[in-house]
Amino acid sequence: MHHPEHLLKPSTLWPTLLERTAHARNRRAILSIPTTPEVIEQSGVAFQVRVITALAMKALTTAAKSNNDPFLPYDPDLFVAEVSPTHVALLSKFNVVDHHLLIVTRAFEPQEMLLTREDCAALLICLSEIDGLGFYNAGSAAGASQRHKHLQLIPLPALTEPRLPIEPLLRSVKMAGATGIVPGLPFLHAYTPVEPDWIDPRGDSASSLLASYHSLLRAVGLSVEATVGSPAPTAPYNLLVTRQWLLLVPRSEEYFEGISINALGFAGALLVKDTAQLAMLRKQGPMSALQRVALPREP
C-alpha cells in the first residue's frame, strides 16, 4: 500500500529512473530490444524506422506470452516510483528506447476508458520531471498490447532538432478555436498548443490537460460523455503529449501490412520486424502507412 511520504519527491524522478534502470539490468528484469536505425523520408518528415535485429526477434518470440496483467502485480524489479495516490511508474520490460517509463493505474482500469483527471495529473508529474513525449494508445486497434490502463513517457534528447520527426509539419498548424489541423497530416487528427507554464503540477494543470484532451476528442468527433459511475470507453485513438503541444489521432486498425503502429508512429517513429518490412515501408511510404491505419480527413 502506498503511503503519502513514499510519493515521488520533486526533482527525483530522473535520478531514480537511472538508478532503477541499472538495478533492473542487473536483475535481468529488462529485455532491451536491439534495433538498427534507418530513415525514410516522405511528405517532409524524416521518419525514424527501427529494425529489430534478427537475434532479438527470435528471443522476443520465445519470451513467454501470458494473458495475465503484467502491472497487477508488477515486477518489483521494474518499479520506479510512487507517482501519485492513483498511479505508479514502472520501467517498460521490452524496451526499444532507453528509460521508457510506464505510468500505470494502481487499480485495474481498462485501457479503452477515457483518461481521467488522475491520469492527467500523473502524466504531468512525470512530464514536469522529465522532458519527453508522453503518449497513450487507447485500445488494441491503437497499438496497445496490455489491457490495464497505462500511459507512457519516453525522454527526448535536449539538443537534437527536430526533437520528434513530425515536428517540422506542426509549425504550419491552422487553428480554429481551441484546436487546429496540421495541413501536412493526411488523416483525421486534432492538435492543440499548450501554455508554457501548463506543465507546472502545482497549478491546476491536470484540469487544463483534461480540458484540452476533451476538446481534441470533440474536434475529431469522439464522445467525452461519462456513463453513470465510470468514464465511458471510446473508439481507438492515439494521444501524444509534449511540453509544447498535444495531438490526437483516431484509429481504424492496428496494423499496416503486418507492422503494428502505435502513438510513436504519429510522432514519426516506427518499429519493423525485419528488412522485408523495412523494404515494403520504403516502397509504400511511412506517411501512407499512417494514413491507412487512421481515418480519412474531413473533406
The one-letter amino acid at 293: V
The smaller minimum CB distance to ligand AMP, of residues 77 and 118, is found at 77
Check residue 128 and give left, alpha or beta (phi > 0: left; psi -120 to 50: alpha): alpha
Residues of this chain that bind ligand AMP (CB under 6 A): 70, 75, 78, 90, 92-94, 102, 137, 143-146, 262
Burial of 238 (0-12, 13-18, 19+ CB in 10 A): buried
For residues 231 and 251, what is the distance between their CA atoms, to the nearest angstrom?
Answer: 20
Strand 230-231 with 45-52, pairing: unpaired
Ramachandran bin of 62, using left for φ above 0, alpha for ψ from -120 to 50, beta for the remaining angles? alpha
Instruction: For CA atoms 102, 103, 108, 112, give the dihedral sign.
Output: negative
- Residues 48, 39 contacting (CB under 8 angstroms): yes
Regarding beta strands 245-250 and 237-241, do their DSSP bridges make them parallel or antiparallel, or are they unpaired? Answer: antiparallel
- Tell me how far, at minimum, the Cβ of 133 lies from ligand AMP, in Å: 13
Smallest distance from ligand AMP to CB 94, Å: 4
Tell the smallest beta-carbon distance from residue 263 to ligand AMP (Å): 8
Residue closer to ligand AMP, measured from CB, 143 or 265: 143
Between 143 and 236, whose beta carbon lies closer to ligand AMP?
A: 143
Q: How many CA atoms lie within 13 A of 251 on its CB side?
A: 30
Q: Quick one: 22 or 279, whose CB is closer to ligand AMP?
A: 22
Compute the least distance from the CB of residue 238 to ligand AMP, in Å.
10
Give the nearer residue to ligand AMP in terms of CB position, either 153 or 216. 153
CB of 190 to ligand AMP, least distance (A): 21
Give whichever of 106 and 201 is closer to ligand AMP, judged by the CB atom.
Answer: 106
Four-CA torsion 128, 102, 51, 270, nearest 10 degrees: -60
